[in-house]
Amino acid sequence: MITLRDIQPEDKDKIRQWRNLPEVSKYMYTDHYITPEEHERWFRWILEDPTCRYWIIVCDGQDVGLVNIYSLDQRNRRCYWAFYVASPDVRGKGVGSFVEYSVLHYVFDELRLNKLCCEVLASNEAVTNMHKGFGFRQEGLFREHVVKSGVPTDIVCLAMLRHEWESLKPDIEGRLRQKGLL
């Protein structure tokens, strides 16, 4: 069973450990070692910032990753989102699909926003393809946008609009029900 739960203060150290895992940081904008002091500032900021929301991904009772929405812009009715799965034990169990559906549902059906955006390292084709499989469309490419391991790296920009979600939602829910994820 996969669920999302709000982050709690006691999650701080676990999240820092996850953020410093090579298999996680290689797909994040931040790829340097995150010190306890840097993480403390970041963690305090995410708990207080009204333009973001963070959840822990839980699979079969085990905390396995993090998902968030950020840059929540009520005036323009849009936000961004990102996630990672830190536990290699749950890969292939549909965690990414469940998380993607959950965020789409939350952003479009609960917050009633019009647009959900995300940015993915161009080298992370699996996640780019997963987003496209849910109906996200590529809207751009930020060329050499971030430096990863000393190398300028491209970023793929994707988004979905609420009317697209509304037309795709029945099919997505059907696919996830068939996989036992809903």
Q: What is the DSSP string of 146-165?
A: EEETTEEEEEEEEEEEHHHH
Q: pLDDT tens digits for the chain (182 residues)? A: 999 999 999 999 999 999 999 999 999 998 899 999 999 999 999 999 999 999 999 999 999 999 999 999 999 999 999 999 999 999 889 999 999 999 999 999 999 999 999 999 999 999 999 999 999 999 999 999 999 999 999 999 999 999 999 999 999 999 999 999 99
The whole-number pLDDT of residue 126 equals 94
Q: How many helices, marked H, and strands, marked E, lie in the chain? A: 6, 7
The whole-number pLDDT of residue 91 equals 82
d(CA 163, CA 52): 23
The whole-number pLDDT of residue 139 equals 98
Residue reference for tokens 């006691």: 10
- Strand-pairing partners, residue 118, are 158
Q: Quick one: how far is CA 139 from the chain centroid?
A: 18
The matching CATH number, chosen from 3.40.630.30, 3.30.930.10, 3.40.50.300, 3.90.550.10, for 2-178 is 3.40.630.30
Residue reference for tokens 């795709």: 168
Domain locations in the chain as residue ranges: 2-178
Mark out the alpha helices in 36-161 (DSSP H runs): 36-48, 95-104, 125-133
Q: Quick one: how far is CA 38 from the chain centroid?
A: 21
Which candidate, 145, 172, 171, 168, places its Cα nearest to that of 29? Answer: 145
The whole-number pLDDT of residue 92 equals 85
